[in-house]
Amino acid sequence: MNFKRVLVLSIIILISSNIFALKPDTTSYAYHPDSYGVLYKEYFIQTSDGVNLKSWVCTPKKDVDNKQTLILAYGDAGNMSYFLTQISKLVKSGFSVVAFDYRGFGESESFKINKDYLYYNEFSTDLVSVIRWTKNNLENNKTGIWALSMGTIMTTLALQEENVDFLIAEGFVVSPLKITQKIKELKNRDLLLPKGYDKYKNILMHLSVKTLLFAGNKDIVTTVDDSKFVKKLNVKNKLIEFEGNHLQGFKVLDSGARYISEIRQFID
């Protein structure tokens, strides 16, 4: 087994074992997109409150006529380099991918993080700024968000301020409070919630963007029933259930092939 494969498997284990536990990785990136044969440019995107976020804009080869862009809003652990396997497959299938690190993650500007918090509202500010930057700087026919786990909270909050054409979501959080209760039950760990968490459910009820949901039938934290709830918010929403656990959809669905095919069919 080569080193890159060992690293990928280690990342999967890390993410799976740290469900809903803020664990940013601020070490230097072990890999960059070109390590996977992906064309990219590095940017620092400044947020509305003056924080600089590291971003990779990954693009398909010039002969691919596709102006569909996915903004990756990942979960609560690691940094954007942890998702290069998925990013590379998405780009090779014709998507542009805007990856970025939240403040305090990766090589984005530092931010004091209490790891006992489920999330910070500032992360949604980061996503809003990335959406705006993407719409202003990239030529896109359609721009969507690929949100994972905690990233679905950030997306739900961010879409109050900025619109996108579609949302791809896996491990959807419908209630931050219920997540903290589940983590207490499963891990006997008390997690804190930021100001305004009690308004989240009402904000979610007004989520109007068409959404493709992926949900694992073995996920006991962000359950299939949670995604079914979100599916009912819009007649255009679609749910794909898979045999697996939290955030295992890409791996389980033909190593990404079916996952990407479902995305393509949903947005075309």
Per-residue buried b or exposed e for 14-49, using 16+ beta carbons within 10 Å of the residue's own CB: ebeeebbbbebbeeebeeebeebebebeebebebee
CA dist., res. 187 & res. 192, Å (int): 14
Give me the long-range contacts of 227-233 (CB less than 8 A, separation at least 24): 227/169, 227/172, 229/174, 230/169, 230/172, 230/174, 230/204, 233/204, 233/205, 233/207, 233/208
Give percent of the chain above pLDDT 90.
Answer: 86
Supply the pLDDT for residue 36: 96
Query: For position 41, which CATH number holds?
Result: 3.40.50.1820
What single letter denotes the amino acid at residue 103?
R
Residue with token string 């230097």? 28
Q: Grade residue 90 by pLDDT with cuts at 50, 70 and 90.
A: very high
Stretch 35-62: mean pLDDT: 96
Q: Grade residue 62 by pLDDT with cuts at 50, 70 and 90.
A: confident
Supply the pLDDT for residue 11: 41
Q: Note whether 53 and 44 are within 8 A (CB).
A: yes
DSSP codes of every residue in 87-120: HHHHHHTT-EEEEE--TTSTTSPP----TTBS--
Supply the pLDDT for residue 236: 97
* pLDDT tens track for 123-161: 999 999 999 999 999 987 899 999 999 999 999 999 999
Supply the pLDDT for residue 9: 39
Question: Where is 185: in which H helix or E strand?
Answer: helix 176-187
Of 21-25, 107-111, 148-152, the poorest mean pLDDT is in 21-25
Stretch 64-76: mean pLDDT: 88
How much is the mean pLDDT over the chain? 92
Supply the pLDDT for residue 5: 44
Residue among 211, 84, 70 at smallest CA distance from 130: 70
- Rg (the chain; Cα; Å): 17
* pLDDT tens track for 180-216: 999 999 999 999 999 999 999 999 999 999 999 999 9
Give percent of the chain above pLDDT 70.
Answer: 91
Q: Grade residue 96 by pLDDT with cuts at 50, 70 and 90.
A: very high
Q: Note whether 182 and 149 are within 8 A (CB).
A: no
Domain encompassing residue 142: 3-267
For 159, residues 6+ apart whose C-beta sits below 8 A from its C-beta are 167, 207, 209
Supply the pLDDT for residue 140: 78
Of 55-64, 140-149, 163-172, 221-230, the poorest mean pLDDT is in 55-64
CA dist., res. 180 & res. 117, Å (int): 10
Q: How many domains does the chain have?
A: 1
